[in-house]
Amino acid sequence: MPLPLARHALATGLVLGLSISATPLISQDFSLPSTFGEISVSAGFMPDPNWVHVLAGGEALREFPDANTGNRCAGHFAEAPDFRIFFEPGSGLPLSFYVESRDDTVLLVNTPDAQWHCNDDSSGLNPSLTFDSPQPGQYDIWVGTYQASNGTYPAAILGITELEPFADTFARAFFGEDDRIVMDATQSPWNMIGFVDLSDSSCTGALIGPQTVLTAAHCLADQGAITGTPVEFLAGYDRGDAVARSAITGYHVPASWMMGEQEGYDFAFLYLADPIGEQIGWMDVGPLTPEDVAAELAGTGPDIMQAGYSYDQQGVLTGNLDCPFIELGGQNTLIHQCDTLQGDSGSPLFIETGGRYRIIGVESRTDAMPRAQFDRNVAMHTDYVLAELQALITQTGSGGGTRPPETK
C-alpha cells in the first residue's frame, strides 16, 4: 500500500539544504504525481527485470550525497518523480534500479525512510542503485542527465529488478554469450585501429589514409554542437603503449549530422599531424555490393571482423573475428551481431578481400530491446561514408589520404 505523504516536509527540507548556489530553488518533490506512472509490486515480481520507458533530465541542476556511501553526484532533474514504485519485500533478495540510455544519465531514488540515494556511472555511463535489504513502501525515482537538457530530454529505460543489475542487459548485448577476444594490437590489421582520445571521453577509430581516421560523429558532436574535442589518435594502443600515435589537428563531421543527426550520417573524419599510416598501413572504405550481401546471408561471404576499445576492458583492444550479418537496413544502416559495448563507437566492421581490408561499417549504437531476446546493433554502412569522402575530394581536388576542408 502507498505510504502516507507525511515524509514530504522532511525530504523537501533535505533537498533545499543541498541546493547549489545560482541554481533555482526547485526541489525534487515526491508529493507530485510521477510523470511516467507507478506500480505496486511484491518480492518475486515478474517480469524481472521490469522495464519502464522514460525521458531523462529536467531543468533543475541538483547535487545529492548518497545516504549510504556519502558519494556526491550531480545532475539535471525534473521536479516531479519520473516513476514511483510501492514495494513489499519478502524474498530476501536485493532490489535494484538501473538505467540504460545513449546519454550520460544520473539516477536518484528517495526511499521509504526519506533518504536520498544517487549514482552517476555504474556500467559505463549508465547508473544503478542496489538496496540489499529493501524497505517496504514508496520509492520515488528520478532519471536525470549529467549535461543540461536545454529543452531536449533523451530517451532512457529504467530497469527494476531483484537480479544483478545489467545482467539481462549484457546477455542481450552479447546475443547470449560474449565472443570478444583480446587482439594483438601490434599486428595487422589490428594496428590500423586505434584509441581516439577526446580529452574527457574516448572512442575508437581506424586509419583510412596516411593521416585520416574514420570514427563516429556522435563521439564529436551532439545536437548540432561539438561536444568532444579530439586530441590524439593512438594506433595499436595496448595498456599505455601504441604502435604509432599522432596529434589530431582537425576533423570533419557531415552537415547532415550537425543539422539534425540524420540517420546514416553517424561518422566523422579525423586529420592527423603525422602520416602514421605510411608506417603501419590503412584500411580501404567500400560498401557491401548486392553480391556481397547475398553471400553474407547465404553464409558463404568473408568473415566480418570488428575491434574496439570497450569500456569494460580498459586499455586493450577486443573484438570479433566472425560477426553474424543480419541485414542492410534503411538509411545507410548495417544491422549486425558483433559483441560491442560503449567505447566501441567508431570502430570498424571490415572484411578481407584480395589481401586488403575493407571497412563496410562504422559502429554507431545499440538499440535496447528489453522485450526482445537480443538488442539491435547498428553500424553506419559505408555507402554514405564513401560518398562523403568523394565529395570532399572533389571539393579539394586531392587524392585519398589527404585532408578535406575542416569543419571546426
Instruction: Provide the β-strand partners of residue 270.
Output: 213, 251
pLDDT at 369: 80
Model's pTM, two decimal places?
0.69
C-alpha cell at 296: 553474407
124: left (phi over 0), alpha (psi -120 to 50) or beta: left
Please state, in angstroms and as integers, the Cα–Cα distance from residue 321 to each residue in 182, 302, 384, following that order.
Answer: 11, 11, 25
The length of the chain in residues reads: 408
pLDDT at 398: 55
Q: Quick one: CATH architecture of 181-396? A: Beta Barrel (2.40)
Q: What is the DSSP string of 117-167?
A: EEES-SBTTB-EEEESSPPSEEEEEEEEESS--TT---EEEEEEESS-TTH
Boundaries of every domain in the chain = 5-165, 181-396
Please state, in angstroms and as integers, the Cα–Cα distance from residue 248 to each residue in 212, 279, 282, 316, 329, following that order.
Answer: 9, 17, 17, 21, 32
Question: Rounded CA gap, 170 and 22, in Å?
Answer: 40
Burial class (CB in 10 A: 0-12, 13-18, 19+), 344: buried
pLDDT at 23: 36
Q: Quick one: CATH architecture of 5-165? A: Sandwich (2.60)
Helix (H, G, I), strand (E, B) or coil at 406: coil
Question: Rounded CA gap, 159 and 96, in Å?
Answer: 8
pLDDT along the chain (408 residues), means of 10: 31 29 55 95 92 92 88 91 96 94 92 94 88 96 90 91 83 86 97 94 95 97 89 96 97 95 97 97 96 96 97 91 96 96 94 96 89 90 96 71 42
Question: Rounded CA gap, 88 and 112, in Å?
Answer: 11
Question: Rounded CA gap, 274 and 86, in Å?
Answer: 59
pLDDT at 28: 87
Three-state SS string across 266-277, please? Answer: CCEEEEECCCCH
What is the separation of C-alpha 290 from the centre of its chain, rounded to a whole number of angstroms?
Answer: 31
pLDDT at 9: 28
Question: Rounded CA gap, 164 and 170, in Å?
Answer: 11
pLDDT at 15: 29
389 closest CA partner among 213, 249, 243, 257: 213
pLDDT at 397: 63
